[in-house]
Amino acid sequence: MNSAPRLRVTFLGTGTSAGIPVVGCECEICRSQDPRDKRLRPSVFLELEDGTRVLVDTTPDFRTQALANKIGGVDLILFTHYHADHIMGLDDVRPFNFRQKAVIPCLGDASTLAALRRVYSYAWDPSVPQGGGLPRLRLFEIRGPFSVGRVEVQPVPLLHGTHPILGFRLGAFAYLTDCSEIPDLSWPLLEGLDVLVLDALRHRPHSTHFTLAEAVETAERVDAGQTYFTHMCHDLPHEETCAGLPERMTLAHDGLVVEL
């Protein structure tokens, strides 16, 4: 009997907020011919065993990402935080509203939901003429673990500089983008992982993101079966950087699919 994967993870984007190539930049990585050096804004698409399709963040590249990865539907959206590179593609879920004839639940912490209400105010404003072009969304605040079908989703509190944001754990998989510190309370939530995805911006220190060295140190402590780094800027060429990483660690790249 063929056993379906419990979780299929597609990396829709693995770049930092500007994306790679950076507009106007002539550096070696921005001119690289290696497709793994082309990085859209950071997001993953999760397909659960029961068929539920979970999108984590809606980047400004979401439309392009959905087309490139042939995404046929989205049942639920999880938001890590409200920065532009994580929310600005939300309006582009409208084709899924039409096709699925359903409202799409959007889950995030209180600060993220407040930002979504502000940025997409037209979607919740009954005075806006309903021309059929509005995204149909319902917001739910994440206050603790919750279930999607039979899968428990464990929010993992992270620090993105001083800003508390959320990572997510589903089974033996965790997605921790945009972080510079894992708070003490979150370490026990990261035990026994098969796959960890972790922020690794660049080599030079940054106030709100792990450097590659900090990310490697964090990944060593988490000790997942395999770690994939994400949210990279144009300082980290794919092939050369991967060659210097410890075993069981690699940079993710756009379009990469991992099955658990």
Q: Which is nearer to Zn ion, 80 or 171 (CB)?
A: 80
Q: Which is nearer to Zn ion, 85 or 92 (CB)?
A: 85
Q: Which is nearer to Zn ion, 4 or 27 (CB)?
A: 27
Residues 214-243 that bind Zn ion (CB under 5 A): 234
Instruction: Classify residue 171 by its DSSP letter.
Output: T
The two most distant CA atoms of the chain are separated, in Å, by: 56
Instruction: Classify residue 75 by its DSSP letter.
Output: S
- Dihedral sign, CA of 229, 235, 238, 239? negative
Whether omega for the bond prior to residue 21 falls within 30 degrees of 0, making it cis, is yes
By the 10 Å C-beta count (0-12 exposed, 13-18 middle, 19+ buried), 63 is classed as: middle
By CB under 5 A, residue 178 contacts Zn ion: yes
Q: Which is nearer to Zn ion, 18 or 123 (CB)?
A: 18
By CB under 5 A, residue 75 contacts Zn ion: no
Site string (78-97) toward Zn ion, x via CB under 5 A: -----x-x------------
Q: Least distance in Å: CB of 156 to Zn ion?
A: 15
Residues 20-49 that bind Zn ion (CB under 5 A): 22, 25, 27, 30
H-helix or E-strand spanning residue 249: strand 249-251
By CB under 5 A, residue 18 contacts Zn ion: no
Q: Least distance in Å: CB of 142 to Zn ion?
A: 17
By CB under 5 A, residue 159 contacts Zn ion: no
How many residues interact with Zn ion (rule CB under 5 A)? 8
Residue recorded with tokens 């370490």: 187
Contacting residues for 193 by C-beta, under 8 A, at least 6 apart: 169, 172, 173, 174, 222, 224, 225
Q: Least distance in Å: CB of 191 to Zn ion?
A: 26
Q: Least distance in Å: CB of 56 to Zn ion?
A: 12
Burial code of 90-122, b = ≥16 C-beta within 10 A, e = fewer? bbbbbebbeebeeebebbbbeebbebbeeebee
| Strand residues in 149-216 grouped as ranges (E) | 151-160, 163-170, 173-176, 195-199
Q: Which is nearer to Zn ion, 6 or 81 (CB)?
A: 81
Q: Least distance in Å: CB of 241 to Zn ion?
A: 14
By CB under 5 A, residue 57 contacts Zn ion: no
Q: Which residues of the shown chain bind Zn ion in the complex (CB under 5 A)? A: 22, 25, 27, 30, 83, 85, 178, 234
